[in-house]
């Protein structure tokens, strides 16, 4: 019997079905010259942007930003601390070790890291194109590649020093491996897909949900296809084994250093609480008592949870505390929790998704880089990609196994909604959306002559365009804050003229203009540019008159300029408030009064100060020294005794205390204090000189000469010791 030729698709068939238009996807597509040119263009774009932003002042590892943490952690690992500390991982480990490997090979070069990340980003474009080619056809693959290559937000985050730089290539790898496994349907292929997701989970622990969903769905599909539970179990075991092997190094390391069974990181509970409590709005929200830095969160979360439960807690217990607290709020406020979930979904699909650390819109609009010429972003990828997914699900001939790839994408979105939303967390979602968008674009083009069949796709596209491009509100606009941060960075670099231009532009739309000028004043003060600092601090007080920290800093700036009398009223205002600024202001106020020819008022202020439990030894020593300068030994002793109680082995405290005792007339106690201080610091010439003076005041000239000689021996160019010794030698 002769074989019948396959009938061509009829013009009336459904072209929205993925298998209806054109031939079936090739199992192992080759890269043609259009794809090669596209990848070369993508690489060029990413490398140029990496070079353009490599020296940007805001993208350097400074302060408490996540970038600084990752660089310091990677340098520590590259330096030989391969286990990285003695506690469970708090930050995701993959990026730390990725950077450490680059530093180990190329030295501590951030440019090398950015260039490697640009190459990996291009690899991600290629993997996404290969996924589109396997599922669909060559045109869909090329459109997918073009969308990714021209995506500014992906290019930007691929060249910053953050863990998000690896997310696009890892998500593209996930899609490629899941696609391959869904087509081959072997336990080995599924195990490799599980390993890819496990590797990504080391960078984004919320990918654990994707692994669980993939295990369930792939096993269900295998059971339905074969009718055998054995096949389903083999598939599930393959995915579980592959992901477990990828995650195992982090788990074993956590167990080895902390003794706790923590799969990857211990910060899940806090992040869950940040995204789900009575003040949550879907984006990152600072939690009272917990710093907004990686290191600060690790330490402060333990303190807060421990204080609430009244005992020291392990990492797992800290995380569990915050999980329980968030879940309790959700149980007590189900409607508020549901509304919050809807808000998160809106932000996740919106082009104005809140920023964390760095605002891509700012860099695209404000900086002269190629980002300005990359038009594709969330505004287009979300509506076109979501339309593509709807067409795939609606089509009657969707490619076999595409449900697994769709489920992983949906599971990732759900894993973000469980916590809170930022553009960095939105980033991985853009890769599968680009693949679906490539398919949607080719299908819409094929329907251009059949307007009736375009009704549903165009309606869906219109709805998602609206959702993606609605302004989410002014409170999510990070550009003014980014300009403020850039202005401060420019001041720190000495580029004052450009900084002042940015500050003038930013004051009009910054949410806290007083804080803006305070930060500028602080940056100038740290550079000892006191006139500029005072100008901005005065402007800050015009905008917010009753800020203790601003009054304190302005008073300190004027005091450092030698304008003590002008500093007094600002320091007085700062000292009126309780808390840390008042403690510092009290000391500086006494200094200002003393230097401003008001010694009696300074002494009265000093006498009226009550010692607080939180004062440091340095503060107490400074106040005691002021008492000596004001010739008030009794007041000096009050502070110096407290300092000695805190730091009994500090020779500086012992020396000042001995001087105060001597001024009070208690010479035997002064001698004892100095002799004790010398035991702690025997090579300190100042201590020997003070002991010589005290012995002389006590009438013990022989010992006085011995101590003066020792001071001179330790410091031959010590004129005070030489003068005292000459006077002592003239004594009978």
| 3-class DSSP state of 397 | coil
Domains of the chain, earliest start first: 33-264+362-466 (no CATH), 268-342 (no CATH), 478-545 (1.25.40), 549-595 (no CATH), 683-732 (no CATH)
pLDDT for 7 equals: 43
Query: Three-state SS string across 547-583, please?
Result: CHHHHHHHHHHHHHCCCHHHHHHHHHHHHCCCCHHHH
Q: How far apart are CA 315 and CA 607, in angstroms?
A: 46
When pLDDT is cut at 50, 70 and 90, the band that residue 286 belongs to is confident
Q: Between these two residues, 396 and 236, which has the higher pLDDT value?
A: 236
- Region label for 277, one of left (φ > 0), alpha (ψ between -120 and 50) or beta (otherwise): beta
Where residue 616 falls among pLDDT bands split at 50, 70, 90?
confident
| Residue 96, H or E segment | helix 93-106
**pLDDT-derived band of residue 394, with 50, 70 and 90 as boundaries?**
confident
pLDDT in tens, 457-512: 899 999 999 999 998 877 777 888 888 889 999 999 899 999 999 899 888 888 88
Q: Is it the case that residue 11 has pLDDT exceeding 70?
A: no
Give CA separation, 214 vs 248, 382, 409, in Å. Answer: 19, 23, 10
Q: What is the 3-state secondary structure (H, E, C) of 113-182?
A: HHHHHHHHHHHHHHHHHHHHHHHCCHHHHHHHHHHHHCEHHHHHHHHCCCHHHHHHHHHHHHHHHHHHHH
pLDDT value, residue 732? 65
What average pLDDT does the segment 232-261 reach? Answer: 94
Instruction: State the average pLDDT over residues 193-199.
Output: 97
Mean pLDDT of the chain: 88
- The whole-number pLDDT of residue 696 equals 84
Give pLDDT, residue 31: 65
19 has a pLDDT exceeding 60:
no
**In this structure, what token pair is assigned to residue 452?**
């009736």
Q: Alpha-carbon distance 489 to 325, whole Å?
A: 38
Question: What pLDDT score was predicted for residue 538?
Answer: 94
Task: Report pLDDT for 16.
Answer: 38
Average pLDDT over residues 143-151: 97
- Using CA atoms, how far apart are residues 586 and 584, in angstroms rounded to an integer? 5
Please tell me the least confidently modeled range out of 259-268, 560-569, 606-615: 606-615
Can you tell me the mean pLDDT for 631-649?
86
Q: Cβ neighbours of residue 32 under 8 Å, at least 6 residues apart?
A: 138
pLDDT, one tens digit per residue, over 356-369 is: 888 999 999 989 99
Contacts of 690 (CB under 8 A, 6+ apart): 655, 658, 659, 674
Q: What is the CA 293 to chain-centroid distance, rounded?
A: 6
More confident residue, 705 or 155: 155
Residues in the chain: 732
Q: What band does 334 get if pLDDT is binned at 50, 70 and 90?
A: very high
Q: State yes or no: pLDDT of 144 exceeds 90.
A: yes
| Spatial separation of the C-alpha atoms in residues 353 and 55, rounded to whole Å | 26
Task: Specify the pLDDT at position 14.
Answer: 42
Contacts of 626 (CB under 8 A, 6+ apart): 587, 590, 591, 594, 602, 606, 636
DSSP state of 613: T
Nearest to 260 by CA among 204, 326, 315: 315
Which residues have a Cβ under 8 Å from the Cβ of 100 and sit 6 or more positions away?
73, 74, 75, 77, 78
Mean pLDDT confidence for 26-55: 87
3 pLDDT higher than 60: no
Pairs from 680-686 (Cβ < 8 Å, separation ≥ 24): 680/649, 680/650, 680/651, 680/654, 681/651, 683/714, 684/651, 684/655, 684/714, 685/710, 685/711, 685/712, 685/714, 685/715, 685/718, 685/721, 686/655, 686/711
The backbone region for 259, taken as left when phi is positive above 0, alpha when psi lies in -120 to 50, beta otherwise, is left
Binning pLDDT at 50, 70 and 90, where does residue 29 land? Answer: low
Say if CB 173 and CB 124 are below 8 A apart. yes
Surface-to-core class of residue 528, CB atoms within 10 Å of its CB (0-12 exposed, 13-18 middle, 19+ buried):
exposed
Residue pair 247/212 in contact (Cβ under 8 Å)? The answer is no
* pLDDT band of 206, cuts 50, 70, 90: very high
Q: Is the pLDDT of residue 615 over 90?
A: no
Q: Which two tokens stand for residue 57?
A: 């002042």
pLDDT of 330: 96
Tokens of 206: 């919320």
* 690-716 per-position pLDDT tens digit: 888 888 888 888 888 888 888 888 888
Question: 84-97: per-residue pLDDT in tens?
Answer: 888 889 899 999 99
In whole angstroms, what is the distance from residue 45 CA to residue 370 CA?
7
pTM, whole model, 2 decimals? 0.79
pLDDT of residue 13: 39
Between 430-446 and 402-417, two packed helices, what is the crossing angle to 10 degrees?
A: 130
Amino acid 634: pLDDT: 87
Q: Are 21 and 9 in contact (CB under 8 A)?
A: yes
> What confidence category does residue 400 fall into, taking pLDDT thresholds of 50, 70 and 90?
low
Q: Which of 99-113, 254-268, 382-396 has the lowest mean pLDDT?
A: 382-396
CB within 8 A of 102, min separation 6: which ones? 74, 109, 112, 113, 116
Residue 20 has pLDDT above 70, yes or no: no
Residues 6+ apart with CB under 8 A from 160: 53, 59, 67, 114, 358
The answer to whether 666 and 693 are in contact (CB under 8 A) is no
Please tell me the distance from the alpha carbon of residue 651 to that of residue 687, in angstroms, as a whole number: 8
Pairwise CA distance, residues 659 & 667, whole Å: 9
| Cβ-contact 134, 30 below 8 angstroms | no
- Confidence band for 399, pLDDT divided at 50, 70 and 90: confident
Q: Side-chain half-sphere of 576: how many Cα atoms within 13 Å?
A: 9
What is the rounded distance in angstroms from the CA atom of residue 259 to the CA atom of residue 252? 10
pLDDT above 90: percentage of residues in the chain: 51
Q: Is the pLDDT of residue 687 over 90?
A: no
Rounded average pLDDT over 509-536: 92
The yes-or-no verdict on residue 397 having pLDDT over 60 is no
CA distance 612 to 3: 97
């Amino acid at each position: 019997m002769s074989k019948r030729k396959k009938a061509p698709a009829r013009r009336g068939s459904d072209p929205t079905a993925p298998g209806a238009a054109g031939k079936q996807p090739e199992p192992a597509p080759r890269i043609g010259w259009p794809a090669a040119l596209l990848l070369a263009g993508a690489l060029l774009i990413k490398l140029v942007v990496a070079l353009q932003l490599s020296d940007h002042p805001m993208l350097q590892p400074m302060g408490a930003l996540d970038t600084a943490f990752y660089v310091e952690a990677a340098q520590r690992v590259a330096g030989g601390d391969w286990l990285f500390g003695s506690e469970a991982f708090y930050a995701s480990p993959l990026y730390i070790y990725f950077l450490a490997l680059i530093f180990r090979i190329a030295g501590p070069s951030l440019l090398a890291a950015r260039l490697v990340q640009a190459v990996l980003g291009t690899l991600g474009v290629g993997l996404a194109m290969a996924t589109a080619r396997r599922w669909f056809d060559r045109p869909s693959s090329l459109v997918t590649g073009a969308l990714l290559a021209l995506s500014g937000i992906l290019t930007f985050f691929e060249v910053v020093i953050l863990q998000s730089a690896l997310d696009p290539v890892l998500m593209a790898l996930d899609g490629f491996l899941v696609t391959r496994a869904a087509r081959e349907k072997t336990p080995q292929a599924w195990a490799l897909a599980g390993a890819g997701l496990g590797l990504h989970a080391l960078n984004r622990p919320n990918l654990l949900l994707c692994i669980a969903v993939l295990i369930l769905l792939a096993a269900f599909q295998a059971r339905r296809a074969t009718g055998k539970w054995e096949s389903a179990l083999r598939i599930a075991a393959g995915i579980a084994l592959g992901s477990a092997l990828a995650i195992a190094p982090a788990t074993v390391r956590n167990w080895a250093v902390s003794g706790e069974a923590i799969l990857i990181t211990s910060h899940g509970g806090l992040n869950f609480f940040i995204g789900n409590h009575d003040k949550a709005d879907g984006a990152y929200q600072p939690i009272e008592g917990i710093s907004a830095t990686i290191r600060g969160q690790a330490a402060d979360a333990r303190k807060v949870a421990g204080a609430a439960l009244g005992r020291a807690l392990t990492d797992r217990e800290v995380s569990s505390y915050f999980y329980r607290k968030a879940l309790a709020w959700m149980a007590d406020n189900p409607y508020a929790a549901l509304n919050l979930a809807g808000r998160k979904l809106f932000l996740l699909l919106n082009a104005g998704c809140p920023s964390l650390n760095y605002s891509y819109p700012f860099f695209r609009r404000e900086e002269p880089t190629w980002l300005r010429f990359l038009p594709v972003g969330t505004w287009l990828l979300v509506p076109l990609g979501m339309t593509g997914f709807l067409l795939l699900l609606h089509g009657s001939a969707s490619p076999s196994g595409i449900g697994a790839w769709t489920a992983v994408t949906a599971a990732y979105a759900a894993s973000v909604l469980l916590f809170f939303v930022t553009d960095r967390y939105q980033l991985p979602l853009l890769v599968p959306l680009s693949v679906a968008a490539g398919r949607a674009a080719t299908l819409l083009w094929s329907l251009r002559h059949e307007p009736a069949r375009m009704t549903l796709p165009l309606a869906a596209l219109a709805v998602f365009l609206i959702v993606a491009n609605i302004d989410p509100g002014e409170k999510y606009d990070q550009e003014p804050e980014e300009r403020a941060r850039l202005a401060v960075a420019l001041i720190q670099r000495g580029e004052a003229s450009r900084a002042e231009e940015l500050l003038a532009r930013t004051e009009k739309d910054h949410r806290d203009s007083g804080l803006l000028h305070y930060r500028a004043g602080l940056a100038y003060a740290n550079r000892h540019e006191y006139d500029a600092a005072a100008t901005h601090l005065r402007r800050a007080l015009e905008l917010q008159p009753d800020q203790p920290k601003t009054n304190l800093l302005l008073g300190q700036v004027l005091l450092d300029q030698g304008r003590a009398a002008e500093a007094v009223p600002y320091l007085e205002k700062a000292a009126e408030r309780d808390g840390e600024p008042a403690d510092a202001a009290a000391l500086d106020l006494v200094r200002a009064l003393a230097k401003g020819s008001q010694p009696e008022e300074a002494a009265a202020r000093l006498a009226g100060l009550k010692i607080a439990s939180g004062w440091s030894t340095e503060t107490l020593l400074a106040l005691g020294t002021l008492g000596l300068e004001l010739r008030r030994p009794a007041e000096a002793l009050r502070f110096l005794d407290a300092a000695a109680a805190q730091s009994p082995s500090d020779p500086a405290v012992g020396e000042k205390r001995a001087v105060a005792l001597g001024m009070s007339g208690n010479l035997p106690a002064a001698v004892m204090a100095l002799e004790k201080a010398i035991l702690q610091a025997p090579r300190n010439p100042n201590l020997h000189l003070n002991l010589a003076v005290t012995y002389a005041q006590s009438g013990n000239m022989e010992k006085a000469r011995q101590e003066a000689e020792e001071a001179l021996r330790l410091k031959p160019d010590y004129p005070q010791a030489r003068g005292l010794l000459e006077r002592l030698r003239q004594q009978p």
